[in-house]
Each structure stands twice: as structure tokens, then as C-alpha cells.
Amino acid sequence: MNIVDLHVHSTKSDGSFTPAELVEYALEKGLTAFALTDHDTTAGIEEALQAAEGKNIEVIPGIEFSSEYEGRDIHIVGLYIDYKSDFFKRRLTSFVNGRTIRNKEMCRRLTEHGIPVTYEELIHEFPGCVITRSHYARYLLNHGYTKSMKEAFDRYIGDRCPCFVPRKKITPMRAVEIILKAGGFPILAHPVLYHMSNRRLDKLVSILKDMGLQGLEAVYSTYTASDEREMRALASKYDLCISGGSDFHGSAKPGQDLAVGYGNLVIPEEILDKIKEKRNWMASHPEQFMRTKILFTDLDGTLLNSERKISNYTWEVLNRWCQAGHKLVLCSGRAINSIKQVKESLHLDFPGIYLVGYNGGQIYDYDNKETLHKVTLTMAQTDYIINEAIRAGIHIQTYSDTHLITPKQDEELIYYQRASNSPIIYCDHVMDVLKEEPCKCLAVELKDLNKLEAFRLSLLSWAEKEGISMIYSNPNYLELFPSSSGKDTAVKFLCKKLGIRPYFSVAAGDAQNDLSMIEAAGMGIAMCNGSEDVKMAATVITEYDNDHDGLAHVLFDLI
């Protein structure tokens, strides 16, 4: 019987065999094929393919993506990846950027704890590798800071240790999508290892199947006979191909060998034959993998450049997005009328556009000219905020459906009006002209940011009692709105109304008031010009800023 191994690691991630050594070892073990599935990298594939030339073995280009779902680390294996495609290279570059930010922070924390190390030193010591915590542990051992790798994890870099920085991971749904777009075959790796209840695992597999999952690792080194039967039954329930692998790492996992796992593993070549049959079917049915998505994008600092415009390239990407049937949502702290002006000035005359104003306080269907959702402050809350702002000497404004309302014209209002052409009502007593409960108030301070922060702190206990959020949309603007509002509310509301599963939602932003939206969406995009907390929350950080089509370059690959 011919045998294969569809889950193998090399020194390019955290294995101890080079890609070329794996080829020779696979031949020794009698394999007819193996998949090189290093963690989040395809750097070893070319070497393995070259080593296999003219030899009786197939090297399958693969990858193992680390992803996160409900607080758990979930791995998605991709087989037959087109690792040379521009799309796939861009996505891996994005992952590298995120890893680099995390690794530099871990180096900083280690240095603070008496272990001086730079990211550059790590790269020099482990050239050509995707840096993982295993490399940190090896570095600490090699340089005498610990007596074992286990000690390194226990004292410094374990999940609850002072130098550990969690890496924000993509969702498994996004991993499946990336693999499919790269011409690959996505497989849920070793599901038994996640220790999920049957119900939760079934739910995850159902979601991933909807996304395009094609296989499930039902044959694995550590499975019992009962585990394998259950995984085969789960694969059958969702019409998924069976996959199998040793998860061979060499000396990094002692006793776990290539092809045979811990001694009893057998992966017949028929498993790979069925995967190849399914791949042929997939190639002839591309329509089966089309999914409608929804993009929630902030305006200033994200979609718009410093001149509050967009380039021809960004316009064309947005046009392609909407023409592909996806939805576009323009989100801002501004009033809906102001967002309408932005949409129309940019000539975004595409179908399926929605507007979210007042940081989620109002959701508007542009095509049907209809407000779908609105959350407001009470009149009493508005009156209190305005009076406290006047007492503190802070510019304050609120909004009706048609006008901006403020006590007086001042430097702050002139500054604000650079980005908004809303008609203004000046009134010493704002409540005399405010006829309806507003969605928010905005406090603005241009010169003394400590003054604005002192105002926020003075309202903190009252706001908590009243259920009011106070969030900076930029250092000069303090937004005050109902806590039941928020941009995350817009994500949940529109996904439900339009029948789009939340993991098909994408949110992009740069500032604190975008944070809830980014965390609520299936994929969060942080602008490289954005705040650090937004970058930490996002799954992707743009390579370029808002003046150089940063969002459009990421969005292009999501169409």
C-alpha cells in the first residue's frame, strides 16, 4: 500500500529538518507524497520541490495558517497553494507585518525583564525562519538566560507570562478564503486537539463549510480509534474530504515521526486521490465559492486622504467591490447629511451603499432614502452635557436632522467646518431650538488637550450611570453618545438585516471610535497611520497610509 503524509513542518517554521532533508527522509520512510505545511509561510517549498526533482515522490505546496476562533487557536491547512501568485504573496506580507509588530514588542518586554535582545538579533540567529515563541525559547537557552526551553516558557513567554504578547490572528473563515483564492484546498487541521464540545465543533465546521472548507484532518498522530471514527463521521456529515498527517516537526516533537506519528499512523494514498478528485470538481465550479461581503469603512484617516478626497485607484477598487455584489457602508461620527455630501462629492454612485452616522447612532439606506436605525441621547442628558461644557470653557455642539447646533461661532467650529458643510444654527440656549433628541454631542478643543481630558474625566461617573460613551475620534474631538449606539452596533444590525453572516463583514479604521467596529467585524483592517490600540485589535494592518491608497490595496484582494 502506498502511503502519504499531508501535514509536515521544516526549519522554515518550527521543524528541525530542512525542506531538502525532509524530501530525503520521506523517501526513506517510503512515502509517495508529502505536504510541506509550515506555519504561516511557504519559504521552504521551492527548496523541497528542487530536492524532489527526478525522484519518485510528490511534494505538495502547502501552508498551515494559525487563526483564532472564540478564544481558541485554530489551524487551517492549505494544500496545493499557488504560492507564487501575487495575491498570496501580498497576504503573507501582511501576516509578516503583523508578526513583526508583535515580535518587536516581545523583544522590548524581554529587555525590560533583564534579557536584552532585539528583533534583528533574533532574525540573525534564525535566518530565513518565521519567528515563533520556540525561537525565543531557543535564544534564551542558547544565551544562558534559562536552563531549558520549558523554563523559558514557564518564566517569560508562556501565555500568562510577563513577556508574552498575543499575536492577533486571522479568523479560520478568512484563512479558508485565502487558501481558496490561492487555488488551494482548505482543511481543518487536527480538530480533536481543540478540546471543543461536540456541539461547538459541529458549529465551527458548519461555518467553515459555508465559507468553502473542503477537508477535515480525520487521521492524525495523536488520535485514538474513537477519535478517528468521530472525525470521519463529522467529515461525512458535511461532505468533506478526509485528510491525514503526522504533524512531523522532527526533534521539536520527540517520538512523533514522519509518516507513522507515534507508531500506528497510516495515511493511504487513496486519501490524496480523493482530494485531487475534489480539486478537479472545484476548478470547474468556481461559482460555488462566491460570497457577498459588507465593508464598513471610516472616512477621515481611512478612506479619505489628507485632502478628504480619494484617488482614481481607490474609486475604481470601490466600484469593483460594489459591482461584484458586495455592500459598502460609509461610517463616521458626522451627521448623516454630512456623510451624504462626502458620498456625492466622491461620485460613489454605486448600488448597495449604506451610511452610518454619529458613530452608529443612525443607520441610513442611501438607495431607498430611509433611516433604518436610530439611537439618541435624552433631552436631559443633552442639556447636562452642553451646560457642563460651557462651564468648562469647551466648545460643544449637537445636531438635528438638518443642522449643526452650537452656542456660538469660535475657532473650534471653524476648524470642524473644514470637513463638514452642515448648515449651522447659533443659539445661546441650544435647548430652545433643539426639537428632537439628538444622536450625539461633540466637544472640541484645539489648544489644550489636557483641558478636554479633564472635561471627560469630570463627566465619567455621570456618563457611566447614564449609559453614555465618551470616545476620542481624534485628539481634538470627544464624542458623547449612547452606549447602546457605537459602530459595532451598525456592524451587527446591517449584517442581520441584509442576511450576511458577520464573518463576511470587513471593517476599516484608524481611530479609537473605530475600535468597536473593527472588533465586531469578521475582519478588521487598521490603517498604518492609525492608533496603536486599533492596530492591536485588527487582523490586518495596511502597508500604506490613507494618502497612498492603503485601504484600497487591502480591499482589492478581498473582492
Listed range (161-165, 198-202, 213-217) with the worst mean pLDDT? 161-165
The pLDDT tens digits for 29-45 are: 999 999 999 998 999 99
> What are the pLDDT digits (tens) for 508-523?
999 988 999 999 998 8
Span 425-440, mean pLDDT? 92
Residue range 224-240: average pLDDT?
97
Start and end residues for every CATH 1.10.150 domain found in the chain: 92-157
Rg of the chain (C-alpha set): 27
Percent of the chain whose pLDDT exceeds 90: 79
Mean pLDDT for the stretch of residues 348-372: 95
**CATH classification of 3-83+175-288, choosing from 3.20.20.140, 3.90.870.40, 3.20.20.70, 1.10.510.10?**
3.20.20.140
Q: Which three cell numbers stand for residue 397?
A: 455642539
Q: Which has the closest alpha carbon to 397: 363, 360, 423?
A: 423
d(CA 332, CA 473): 9
pLDDT band at 555 (very low <50, low <70, confident <90, very high): very high
Which residues, at least 6 apart from 477, have a Cβ–Cβ distance to it below 8 Å? 333, 442, 443, 444
Phi, psi of 301 (to 5 degrees): 85, -5
C-alpha cell of 307? 485632502
Phi and psi (nearest 5°) for 367? Answer: -60, -40
Structure confidence at residue 289 (pLDDT): 80
Q: Where in the chain is the domain with CATH 3.40.50.1000?
A: 294-374+486-556
Average pLDDT over residues 325-339: 93
Q: By the 8 A CB rule, do 7 and 189 touch?
A: yes
Residue from 508, 468, 515 nearest 488 by CA: 515
Kindly state the cell numbers that stand for 317.
477598487
User: pLDDT (tens digit, 9 = 90+) per residue, 444-458?
Assistant: 999 999 999 999 999
Contact by Cβ (8 Å): 228, 255: no
CA distance 535 to 208: 26
User: Within a 10 A sphere around the Cβ of 109, how many other Cβ atoms?
Assistant: 17
For residue 217, give the C-alpha cell.
484532518
Tell me what pLDDT residue 85 has: 93
Write down the pLDDT at residue 168.
Answer: 64
pLDDT range class, residue 354, cuts 50, 70, 90: very high
- Band the pLDDT of 387: cuts 50, 70, 90: very high
Instruction: Give the 3-state secondary structure of residue 494.
Output: helix
Q: Which of the pair, 409 or 219, is modelled with greater confidence? A: 219
User: Do 227 and 255 contact (CB within 8 A), yes or no?
Assistant: no
Helices 86-112, 172-181: axis angle to 10 degrees equals 140
| pLDDT on residue 50 | 98
The CATH class of 294-374+486-556 is: alpha beta
Task: Give the C-alpha separation, 13 to 129, whole Å.
Answer: 6
Q: Does the pLDDT at position 204 exceed 70?
A: yes
Distance set, CA 4 to CA 31, 59, 179, 260, 329 (Å): 5, 10, 21, 10, 47
Q: Where in the chain is the domain with CATH 3.30.1240.10?
A: 379-482
Mean pLDDT, range 356-371, rounded to an integer: 95
pLDDT for 402 equals: 86
Distances (CA, A) of 551 to 169, 170, 292, 309, 558: 19, 17, 19, 13, 11
The answer to whether residue 167 scores a pLDDT higher than 70 is no
* Location of each CATH 3.20.20.140 domain in the chain: 3-83+175-288
In this structure, are residues 75 and 213 in contact, taking their beta carbons and an 8 Å threshold? no
pLDDT tens digit sequence for 37-78: 999 899 999 999 999 999 999 999 999 998 888 878 899 999
Least confident of 67-81, 262-276, 366-380: 67-81
CB-based contacts of 402, cutoff 8 Å, min separation 6: 337, 423
CB contact set of 496 (below 8 Å; sequence gap of 6+): none
The CA distance from 216 to 209, in Å, is 10
User: Residue 532: what pLDDT?
Assistant: 82
Write the CATH number of the domain with boundaries 379-482. Answer: 3.30.1240.10
Strand partners, 34: 5, 59
Amino acid in position 186: P
Q: Which CATH architecture has domain 92-157?
A: Orthogonal Bundle (1.10)
Residue 130 has pLDDT above 80, yes or no: no
Helix, strand, coil shares of the chain as percentages rounded to 5?
40, 20, 35
Q: Is the pLDDT of residue 494 over 70?
A: yes
Residue 348 dihedral angles phi and psi, to the nearest 5°: -85, 70
